[in-house]
Structure 1
């Protein structure tokens, strides 16, 4: 039962490692029965959403986790605006991926394909609409498939962004390639090694740079993307990867770290591109994870540090939205799935609208009575 609760609190809760600094899952009371397949909330933007997957191979470097593979293979899921309103909805994940994830967490008593039945909003392989749109790269947490950020990706695409979500091969429980191969998590047994977090974010930065090369030049839809308007958003070690990618690649103009301990060292001279931290109370100033305190001082440009009262490590992912499908009631005192999704979508979109679309967002200037859970931090929370 403890494993089932962990999955409900976070579909793929991180192993207890330095790369995550997560809040341990709280106990929760199971409901009588699961409610059936989860349904992701509808996107809030004006555009219908399409999605497709690309499979890319970087022959310039070997895979960092599989010594038998001489090229780094990546699955990249794209979400984008479309004019098409009808068509087959994209699957959330494959039945095999669902099976592997549930097996890794010891989930029993539910069909192995439960997570694959989650209902999405994006239309599979729909024709993209628009040109020169801003691009947002998404990076999930360690052990997590890219699908765990689908709700955020769909919402951003509905608002006029192209979103590229990277499955970092061998760093999540399962990535399926077109030939049927399933790459499982080879990195999962290494997360206590010295320097593990630093190595992961360096590898993710390399993944991001390669993906940007492909999307802005060789991809047959590259005209869809405005190369001058690129940002990155990540959760947990994906957020740490956003820092690493921005340090490495100047094409990434702005970034967001959602509750991730940081590892890439910002140059002592400072870092002037826009950046936002948004996290749980464990990432408040002076809390047990001090990496944000260290990096905040080195951010010399536009910056925000937001802490969400009642949030847990998985509140920035789809995990809370899947709880009912797993027959789990949320713990008391924790943000509801609907509220955590609303807050994440709202503040991430506001940041991107301001820094990629040049649309000023007063929401980011001070606390809002509409969103009292969001605390603005600097030396302490409560002051901007």
Structure 2
């Protein structure tokens, strides 16, 4: 809960308790208390912004006045009423019970649906960001009926910013209503549950001046999961950028929660048949095309940025890629297909795509991160049809760690634990057996160690030293 949210809830509970339990009060006291409560609520609305989980607390602001009015009225008992003593005891018990129930709801709702914060990035750099709307005139958009449509992508770039950079940090979602609608469609849950994303701020400052601490910075391409977003791994992206990387996030149009183009058009997620490998492999080929196109555009920025921000500042000789789920599979395809990608991380992505990992391995630096629950689901024999599909998909993992690469399996981990989504509510975190913040810290530490070594030539601090079984993960290398 935010500061003024805590203040308004605690003050109102104390105020109601005082009114109920202490009788020798002037009429002026409760009125003053109500006025203070109203002022706190006003400040909260102006500074933090009002939201639906706080509705019970807002109503509690008016409750002291109601109780005060009832008590004034009860001073003159009508003929036929119960004796004052008996009536006052019953009333006190009922009001106390209602106050306890109502106060509990007022406290629990904002706790279950908080305005979460991202951990402050540990690196020395501040974070700048800029967004692009890029159209690939060489590729048709196959996911719409209009044959004249060309593939169009929203791309966000995060970069190390100058230490003196100032400005308001960006919201996690600039169009919260659109994304709440998108999340509602994807998860088949009420839109109201996702409105908190609209009040969450990141650590990125739009159009901040790029840092001059280094002449250039390695580039990382990020590909989200199916129905995800380019900012779905903000916890990880900000950490990498703060340590001196430029991260380029892609919204894979019609496969993302929502793509909002610069002219206001919105492309929501379009479901796909996930029960067979054919359609998934075909869609992945489109995502590989997206990544190649975005990498082409990034090269143009590095050579001659019209805004002069990235000209000469992107180290295109040291480019990596990472992704979650379907984006992780795309990272594997790219590291095999595109010579520009020097190293890649796949976070819990089934290996969809046309290319297969050869027996000798990838022959490029690669780190696979898996959730134990995801591997268990692929190996499950509960359903014969799904079991056959899972067996075929698991065969694609046969040589994933061959050739000196790494495979980390995180224990008590779920597929969506690799993203920001569980930060939205403790209710989602019940799906995650382990602590989500600790899991994200583990992901960040090993992602940074991997890219630092293979793109910045720094000594390995964790990967090589921690092969084997550990309480929270297993790390193997063949």
Kept in 2, the 8 Å contact 1:136–1:232? The answer is yes
8 Å contact kept, 2:379–2:394:
no
Taking the aligned partners of 2:151 and 2:425, their CA distance within structure 1 comes to 34
Structure 1 vs Structure 2 CA RMSD: 2.6
Query: How far has the Cα of 1:67 moved from its partner?
Result: 3.7
Residue of structure 2 in register with 1:200 after alignment: 283
Describe the shift of the 1:102–1:295 C-alpha distance in structure 2 as closer, same or farther (beyond 3 A).
closer
Cα contact 1:49–1:79 (8 A) shared by 2: yes
Farther off after superposition, 209-218 or 105-114:
105-114
The correspondence of residues 311-326 of structure 1 with structure 2, limited to 5 A, is: 311-324=413-426
Q: Report the CA distance between 1:272 and its aligned residue.
A: 0.4
- Shift in Å, 1:336: 1.4
Match 2:356 to one of 258, 266, 273: 266
Residue 110 (str. 1) matches residue 201 (str. 2): no
Structure 1 residues 165 and 109 mapped into 2: Cα distance closer, same or farther (>3 Å)?
closer
Tell whether the 8 Å contact from 1:367 to 1:374 is kept in structure 2 after alignment. no
Per-residue deviation, residues 48-82 of structure 1 (Å, max 9, x unmatched)? 11111111111011113124253211111111101
Is the alpha carbon distance of 1:129 and 1:150 closer, same or farther for their aligned partners in structure 2, counting shifts above 3 Å? same
Q: 1:179-200 CA deviation, whole Å, 9 max, x = no partner? A: 00011123x1444465122112
The answer for the alignment partner of 2:168 in structure 1 is 88
* Distance (Å, rounded) in 1 between the aligned partners of 2:397 and 2:440: 26
Unaligned runs of 5+ in 1: 1-30, 379-383
CA contact (8 A) 1:281 1:287 kept: no
Given that 2:371 and 2:410 are in contact with CA atoms closer than 8 Å, whether structure 1 keeps it comes out as yes
* Larger of the two Rg values belongs to structure: 2
1:211 paired with 2:302, answer no
Quote how far apart the aligned CAs of 1:139 are.
Answer: 0.6
- Write the mapping of 1:371-382 to structure 2, written as runs, cut at 5 A: 372-377=471-476
Q: Which residues in structure 2 correspond to 1:39-118 (within 5 Å)? A: 39-68=117-146, 69-83=148-162, 84-93=164-173, 94-104=175-185, 105-108=187-190, 110=192, 113-118=195-200
TM-score by length of 1: 0.82
- Which whole-Å CA distance do the structure 2 matches of 1:109 and 1:205 have between them? 31
Instruction: Note the C-alpha offset of 1:109.
Output: 8.0
Give per-residue Cα distances to partners, 1:200-245, cap 9 Å, x unaligned. 2211111111111111124602422111101110101110011111
SS of alignment partner, residue 406 of structure 2:
strand
| Number of corresponding residues | 345
More helix by share: 2
2:166 is the counterpart of 1:166: no
Residue 329 and residue 144 in structure 1: after superposition, are their counterparts in 2 closer, same or farther (change >3 A)?
Answer: closer
The Cα shift of 1:37 comes to 1.5
Which of 53-62 and 334-343 deviates more?
Answer: 334-343
Question: Which of 250, 254, 260 is 2:343 aligned to?
Answer: 254
Q: Structure 1 CA distance, aligned partners of 2:440 and 2:401? A: 27
Match of 1:33 in 2: 109
Cα distance in 2 between the residues matched to 1:137 and 1:182: 23
Instruction: Identify the residue that residue 48 of structure 2 maps to in structure 1.
Output: none
- Does the C-alpha gap of structure 1 residues 298 and 88 become closer, same or farther in structure 2, counting only changes over 3 Å? closer
List per-residue Cα deviations over 1:72-121 (Å, max 9, x = no partner).
Answer: 11111111101144212112112233321343134338376322222211
- The corresponding residue for 1:149 is 233
Q: Deviations over 1:283-310 (max 9, x none)?
A: 5599455546644426654300101111
Question: Structure 1 residue runs of 4+, over 6 Å off?
Answer: 368-371
Summarize the Cα distance change of 1:158–1:296 in structure 2 as closer, same or farther, 3 Å threshold. Answer: farther
The DSSP-based 3-state class of the residue aligned with 2:445 is helix
Task: Measure, in 1, the Cα distance between the counterparts of 2:364 and 2:407.
Answer: 15
Greater shift in the superposed pair: 203-212 or 366-375: 366-375
DSSP 3-state at the match of 2:244: coil
TM-score by length of 2: 0.67
Aligned to 1:25: none
Q: What CA distance in whole angstroms lies between the structure 1 residues aligned with 2:439 and 2:222?
A: 18
Q: Is the 8 A contact 1:152 1:345 kept in 2?
A: yes
